[in-house]
Amino acid sequence: MAYTDPEVAWVGLTEDQAKQQGIKVKKGLFPWAASGRAIANGRDEGVTKLLFDDSPEAGSGDGHAGRGHGKILGGGMVGTHAGDMIGEIALAIEMGADAVDIGKTIHPHPTLGES
């Protein structure tokens, strides 16, 4: 966590660490310029990045089988209040959440948390 402006926060593996460990990852990016709340706040200069296990055998073991449905391995944010939101990614990693689980998580709208 870097308390800069905008804030920078990361938890779990980075792309480089995954590559060094021979783990194939799928990456999801969400630009905060697409967030209604970030736009309303006048602070849309941010991005959220999530890394998921994309190996052929990746799957959460709870019926979400197949590539692209591997568990979340890491994630980061650059933007206003990133430090307040990085805990949600940490919880997803700890709980073994996959892409489907993340997609099913409901957030109030519009909020930065849905970013």
Q: Is 109 marked active-site?
A: yes
**Alpha carbons 35 and 114: distance in angstroms, whole number:** 8
Greatest CA span in the chain, whole angstroms?
A: 43
Could you read off the pLDDT of 87-96 as tens digits, one per residue?
999 999 999 9
* Eight-state DSSP code of residue 70: P
Could you read off the pLDDT of 20-63 as tens digits, one per residue?
999 999 999 999 999 999 999 999 999 999 999 998 776 545 55
Q: What angle do CA 80, 85, 90 make, to 5 degrees?
A: 140
What residues does each domain of the chain span?
7-105
Q: What are phi and psi of 76, to 5 degrees?
A: -145, 165
Architecture of domain 7-105: 2-Layer Sandwich (3.30)
Better pLDDT: 45 or 102: 45
Tokens of 113: 């948390």
Could you tell me the pTM of the whole model?
Answer: 0.86
